[in-house]
Amino acid sequence: MNDYENLATEIAASATASFRANKSWADNAIAQVADEKLHVALDENTNSIAVIMKHVGGNLKSRWTDFLSTDGEKSWRNRDDEFIDSFTNREEILNHWEEGWACLFATLAVLQPEDLSKSVTIRGEAHSVPLAIHRSLAHCAYHIGQIILVARVLAGDEWETITIPRGESGTYNQSVWGKGHYKK
């Protein structure tokens, strides 16, 4: 493999690892929230976890379906509807969420090094493939932060930390130092 192919492969692999880490944090937070609380917004100006999951799932499905050949904003997507909580149960929410993530991961898995030198469009605006990947990662991370915050508030005293607990950084670092845990 030449240097370009190595770099392109690493860009795709590192993006995949980052998306997987973010999804894992969200999944762990969502698991700590009772079914009925998935529909609770903290106030009238915020979205519930269910709505955020609906939006992220819809965004990922739109952006990553036919990623290299069609605009990332599909004609069949109804973005405004993503902000209306129409789910009746956890299973519906999770199915929609997983569909979006599956589309993302399936597309990232088949990207070839030469694909990273291509251009794609999102709402008619040209993006390099690496920029489109990073734009999607930033968008997901933004909303996953929201999910975690809302879940933390709604779980209350039942919350179990999903990252390194306060005051435990030294112990954590000692337990994982040099083990490559982030790439799993």
Question: Coil, strand or helix: which one is 126?
Answer: strand
CATH number at residue 25: 1.20.120.450
C-alpha distances in Å from residue 115, one per residue of 8, 26, 108, 118, 124:
8, 29, 10, 5, 19
CA 65 – CA 175 distance, rounded (Å): 40
Q: Supply the DSSP symbol for 46.
A: S
Confidence at residue 184, expressed as pLDDT on a 0 to 100 scale: 56
- Upper half-sphere CA count for residue 111 (Cβ side, 13 Å): 32
In degrees, rounded to 5, the angle at the alpha carbon of residue 119 between the alpha carbons of residues 60 and 69 is 60
CA–CA separation, 7 vs 14, rounded Å? 10
Domain total in the chain: 1
Give me the phi and psi of 128, to 5 degrees please.
-65, 155
Which whole-number Å values give the CA distances from 149 to 21, 22, 38, 173, in the listed order? Answer: 16, 14, 12, 24
Q: What is the pTM of this model?
A: 0.92
pLDDT along the chain (184 residues), means of 10: 86 96 98 97 97 98 98 97 97 98 97 95 97 98 98 96 88 79 60
Residue 109 is part of which domain span?
Answer: 3-183
- From the list 120, 95, 96, 125, the residue with the least C-alpha distance to 107 is 120
Read off the DSSP letter of residue 122: E
Question: Cα(51)–Cα(65) distance, rounded to whole angstroms?
Answer: 21
In this structure, is the dihedral angle defined by the CA atoms of residues 94, 99, 103 and 106, taken in order, positive or negative?
positive
**Position 36: which residue type?**
E
Give the pLDDT score at 46.
96
With beta carbons less than 8 A apart as the criterion, state whether 25 and 144 touch. Answer: yes
State the pLDDT at residue 179.
73
Encoding tokens for residue 56? Answer: 């992220």
